[in-house]
């Protein structure tokens, strides 16, 4: 009998197969239906996981993977819905538009496969598959920059995954199993495996200095794909690393805490500084993603409530950053540019997109009332035992808040005379950020009730 978790891969697989049919409406509608059903299923699963972990053969879902599954499914649906508008704006393509929806479904499928796997080897396979599929999606539009970015991403990410594979080989050789919660290693073997995983999976997460693919890929990818890269692929890679980190802690390799926290903090610091000098708004949001992932990695290093805060941060970031990347598609369609200096008056010209940009920027930089504020505060409070890490995180949070919101404010205010956007194109980004806001208000209400 097919278990509940199997449907998380069956429906996206159905989306892949139906979208291969030579009928544009079938491609579009099958993707929307598959993503919507997957989203509904992910909500049911996260409710069920609150009563206990779910295990089904090689599949395992706890609260952490349930959160990631929810993010993948929701952003999968939102990206599918926004793609209906986006594909109408694409004129010259490198790969046929006929392959866009099959690849989009396959991209979601590879990430969901990774998130539900209890076997670290299968998680590696899922992530490597996502690299190939997402690289093809990055080059949808026939532009030299996109082809170069996709090639660089494929090479760097695959090299990182090769190093990650060494980590998995060590775990299998010493621990005799790849089911992450059954692995038992010596402190030395755990330390070596974790160090390799930090470099390998850290490349997919976008950790410094393995991050060089990230701004190019995000900056060149179609907006729906940028949203999925930022909001879902990087968190999936983080979940995989988190599993190996838990193995290391269970094996009493406690010094990996400082190593993980340092790489997270330095990533956030470097990214926040790079945001200041950005002239391309898509690259700016890419560095913002790198900043948030760095903070989240530092959070899981501290464990306990800090690890929970990292996943809370990922939830807010996923919806808000999706809204921001969808909005970039609207801006490019109207202003015909990716340069920050050439975009003014969003709140006057495309009001809903302007509101989305302002709220989205506040959400990803941790401004109240968004729950990202609470998450960053908790992570900072747990870092006090490592003053250097605390200083790096505090500077990065402050710098990214000022830099990102300054750039977005310049784009949002002022006068501009441009063509109006279709309401549908503006509603999807706004809905993404609205979900982040509603979720955040729910968290605040929960805290008030509990206190």
What's the number of domains the chain is made of?
Answer: 1
Is 125 part of any domain?
Answer: no
pLDDT given for residue 444 in this prediction: 83
pLDDT of the residue at 143: 74
pLDDT at 416: 72
Distance CA 364, CA 367 (A): 8
- What are the residues whose beta carbons fall under 8 Å from the beta carbon of 249, sequence distance 6 or more? 256, 257, 303
- Residue 347 in any domain: the answer is yes
- Give the confidence band of 450 by pLDDT, cuts at 50, 70, 90: low
Kindly list the distances between the CA atom of residue 94 and the CA atoms of 136, 144, 330, 382, in Å, as whole numbers in the listed order.
Answer: 9, 10, 21, 47
Stated pTM of the model? 0.95
Residues 430-442 pLDDT 10s: 999 999 999 998 8
pLDDT tens per residue, range 112-126: 999 999 999 999 999
Residue 119 within any structural domain of the chain: no
Mean pLDDT across 47-54: 92
pLDDT of 193 > 80? The answer is yes
Please check whether residue 149 lies inside any domain of the structure: yes
Q: Is the pLDDT of residue 451 over 70?
A: no
Element (H, E) at 333: helix 304-335
How sure is the predictor about 2, in pLDDT bands with cuts at 50, 70 and 90?
low
Rg (CA), the chain: 21
At 280-301, the pLDDT tens digits run 999 999 999 999 999 999 999 9
pLDDT (0 to 100) of residue 447:
80
Q: For the ranges 4-13, 259-268, 436-445, which has the lowest average pLDDT?
A: 436-445
422 — pLDDT class (breaks 50, 70, 90): confident
Whether 202 has a pLDDT exceeding 80, the answer reads yes
Is the predicted pLDDT of residue 304 greater than 80, yes or no? yes
Residues 66-110 pLDDT 10s: 999 999 999 999 999 999 998 888 777 777 788 999 999 999 999
Find all residues with CB under 8 Å of 289, minimum gap 6, and list them: 206, 214, 218, 230, 234, 317, 321
- State the pLDDT at residue 275: 96
Percent of residues, the chain, with pLDDT higher than 70: 98
Domain membership of residue 326 (yes or no) is yes
Residue 222 domain boundaries? 137-450
Band of the pLDDT at 425, cuts 50, 70, 90?
confident
| % pLDDT > 90, the chain | 76
Q: 81: how many CB neighbours lie within 10 A of its CB?
A: 22
Residue 390 belongs to a domain: yes
**pLDDT tens digit sequence for 103-115:** 999 999 999 999 9
Does residue 39 lie within any of the structural domains?
no
Task: Quick: pLDDT tens for 330-360.
Answer: 998 888 889 999 999 888 888 889 999 999 9
Average pLDDT, whole number, for the chain?
A: 92
Q: How many other CB atoms sit within 10 Å of the CB of residue 73?
A: 29
Encode pLDDT of 228-249 as tens digits: 999 999 999 999 999 999 999 9
Q: Give the single-character DSSP code of 417.
A: -
């Amino acid at each position: 009998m097919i278990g509940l978790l199997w449907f998380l891969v069956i429906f996206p697989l159905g989306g892949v197969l139906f979208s291969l049919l030579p009928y544009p409406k079938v491609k579009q509608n099958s993707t929307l239906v598959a993503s919507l059903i997957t989203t509904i299923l992910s909500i049911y699963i996260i409710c069920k996981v609150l009563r206990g972990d779910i295990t089904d053969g090689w599949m395992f879902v706890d609260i952490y993977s349930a959160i990631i599954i929810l993010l993948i499914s929701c952003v999968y649906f939102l990206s599918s819905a926004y793609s209906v508008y986006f594909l109408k704006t694409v004129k010259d393509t490198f790969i046929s538009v006929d392959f866009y929806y099959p690849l989009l479904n396959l991209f979601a499928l590879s990430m969901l496969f990774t998130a539900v796997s209890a076997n670290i080897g299968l998680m590696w396979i899922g992530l490597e598959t996502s690299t190939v599929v997402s690289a093809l999606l990055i080059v949808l539009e026939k532009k030299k920059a996109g082809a170069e970015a996709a090639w660089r991403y494929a090479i760097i990410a695959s090299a990182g995954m090769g190093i990650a594979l060494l980590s998995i080989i060590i775990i299998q050789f010493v621990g005799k199993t790849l089911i992450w919660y059954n692995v038992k290693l010596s402190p030395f073997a755990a330390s070596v495996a974790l160090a390799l995983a930090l470099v390998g999976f850290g490349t997919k997460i976008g950790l410094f200095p393995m991050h060089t693919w990230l701004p190019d890929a995000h900056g060149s990818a179609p907006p729906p794909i940028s949203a999925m890269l930022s909001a879902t692929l990087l968190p999936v890679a983080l979940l995989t690393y988190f599993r190996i980190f838990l193995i290391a802690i269970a094996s009493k390799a406690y010094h990996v805490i400082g190593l993980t926290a340092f790489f997270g903090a330095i990533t956030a610091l470097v990214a926040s500084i790079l945001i200041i000098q950005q002239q391309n708004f898509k690259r700016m949001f890419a560095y913002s993603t790198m900043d948030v992932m760095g903070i989240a990695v530092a959070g899981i290093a501290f464990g306990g409530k800090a690890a929970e805060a990292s996943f809370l941060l990922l939830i807010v970031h996923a919806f808000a950053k999706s809204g921001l990347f969808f909005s970039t598609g609207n801006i490019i369609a109207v202003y015909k540019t990716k340069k920050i200096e050439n975009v003014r008056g969003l709140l006057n010209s495309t009001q809903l997109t302007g509101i989305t940009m302002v709220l989205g920027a506040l959400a990803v930089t941790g401004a109240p009332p968004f729950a990202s504020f609470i998450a960053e505060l908790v992570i900072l409070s747990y870092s006090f035992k490592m003053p250097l890490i605390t200083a790096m995180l505090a500077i990065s949070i402050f710098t990214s808040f000022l830099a990102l919101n300054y750039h977005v404010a310049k784009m949002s205010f002022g006068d501009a005379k441009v063509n109006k956007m279709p309401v549908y194109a503006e509603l999807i980004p706004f809905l993404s950020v609205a979900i982040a806001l509603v979720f955040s208000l729910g968290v605040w209400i929960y805290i008030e009730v509990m206190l």
